Amino acid sequence: MTEGLEKLEKALELFGPVPASLMDDLPRYFNLAMLARNEFMIREGDVSKQIAFLEQGMLRYYYAKASGEEITRWIGIEGSFNTSLSSLICQQPSKEYIQAVKDCKLWLISWNDFQLLRAKHEWLERFWTKMLEFEIVRFEGRVRDLITSSADEAYDRISQLFPEVVEQAPLQYVASMLGISPQHLSRIRGQRAKNRS
């Protein structure tokens, strides 16, 4: 098994022990792909047809306004599963872009192959349910933060829950996720650094 598939297995194991029969099947269904910095995994209007395990690199999910302004929705980090979820499930055109922030190494499985594996392996069905539950809870938290929290509170929460995003993603993307300017985020970070010293 390659190092990438071993990382995939470790990511799956966060949801419980992975049956050997499923691990034996994974190399037949997951394919390695490289995505250079600034290349797109999906563009607005494309229909998502695959799920990507991000072995290496970083992905940015964003929406583009008619004015050309880009609003970052999320950052996919190493060890995460990535797709335009509503596009994938509904097989409708995506409303978002997923772009490589840095060079990426991805393990891809087609939606059709994933469905076959789900039918064959009960464990994968439970994994998918847990993943969807996680996405719903994360989405609910982000909406709550945008509606009820100050930028400082939202930054603190995302720092606690997803420190890799705050530590590794470019400042402008984190600021965009929080709905604030990069300058405002710099002030928040400066204040947090001052409080720690």
The domain ranges of the chain are: 3-120
- Token pair belonging to 114: 């994933």
- The pLDDT score that the predictor gives to residue 1 is 58
Percent of residues, the chain, with pLDDT higher than 70? 99
Return the CATH number of the domain spanning residue range 3-120. 2.60.120.10
Query: Is it the case that residue 197 has pLDDT exceeding 80?
Result: no
Q: Measured between alpha carbons, how far is 172 from 104 in angstroms, rounded to an integer?
A: 20
* Mean pLDDT of all residues in 180-196: 88
Question: 188 near 182, Cβ under 8 Å?
Answer: no
- The pLDDT score that the predictor gives to residue 70 is 95
- The pLDDT score that the predictor gives to residue 124 is 93
Query: What average pLDDT does the chain have?
Result: 92
